[in-house]
Amino acid sequence: MRNTLLALAVGILLSGCGSSQQFPAVPTNLDKDSAAHKTFEMTAEHFHFTPEELHVPQGTLVTLKITAIDDTHGFNLGAFGIDEEIPEKETKTVTFYAAKKGEYGFHCSHFCGIGHFGMTGKLIVE
């Protein structure tokens, strides 16, 4: 019994040691004057983001201005360390540097009703 508990405890501890690739929101050494900059106006309402898909070139400083229209929503872009709560009828602004090509999912991180789990989108860095 004791060995089983020990093995379980070790397993739980090790499960938290996984590597999750995460980029800094804005690198401290970034020359913001020379980086390309793209701004998106987004809305969060009725279980979807508009736009749901964003395209930016690699090396772009990205600013998202996200407005929650109908309820409090969240915006989580985990690969860039972004997780914001957006109160109803308010706008939050997040800025990050799209350093690496790839597809990065975002989702609503504040439960907003029955369609919450389908409230997702994608950032594509080309």
- Global pTM reads 0.74
Q: Smallest Cα–Cα separation from 42: which of 126, 116, 106, 117? A: 106
Q: Report whether the peptide linkage leading into residue 51 is cis, meaning its omega lies within 30 degrees of zero.
A: yes
- What pLDDT, on a 0 to 100 scale, did the predictor assign at position 19? 36
Question: CB neighbours (10 Å) of residue 42?
Answer: 21
Three-point CA angle 20, 124, 109, nearest 5°: 55
**Residue 19 resides in a domain:** no
Q: How confident is the model at residue 8 (pLDDT cuts 50, 70, 90)?
A: very low
In a domain, 4, yes or no: no
Is residue 18 classed as helix, strand or coil in its secondary structure?
coil
Confidence of residue 4 (pLDDT cuts 50, 70, 90): very low
Residues paired with residue 43 on neighbouring β-strands, in sequence order: 50, 67
- Coil, strand or helix: which one is 103? strand
- Residue 11 belongs to some domain of the structure: no
Q: Which helix (H) or strand (E) is 2 found in, with range?
A: helix 2-15
Q: How many domains does the chain have?
A: 1
pLDDT band at 126 (very low <50, low <70, confident <90, very high): very high
Closest CA to 81 of 94, 68, 72: 94
Give residue 44's domain range. 34-125
Contact yes or no for 117/105 (Cβ under 8 A): no
Query: What is the band of 28 on the pLDDT scale with cuts at 50, 70, 90?
Result: low
In a domain, 109, yes or no: yes
Q: What is the amino acid identity at position 104?
A: Y
Q: Tell me the CATH number at 107.
A: 2.60.40.420
pLDDT score for 112: 87
- The answer to the question of residue 72 being in a domain is yes
Residue 6 lies in a domain: no
| Better-scored residue on pLDDT, 112 or 119 | 119
Asked if residue 26 belongs to a domain, the reply is no
Residue 105 pLDDT exceeds 50: yes
Q: Does residue 22 have a pLDDT over 70?
A: no
In a domain, 10, yes or no: no
Query: Which tokens hold the place of 37?
Result: 């900059």
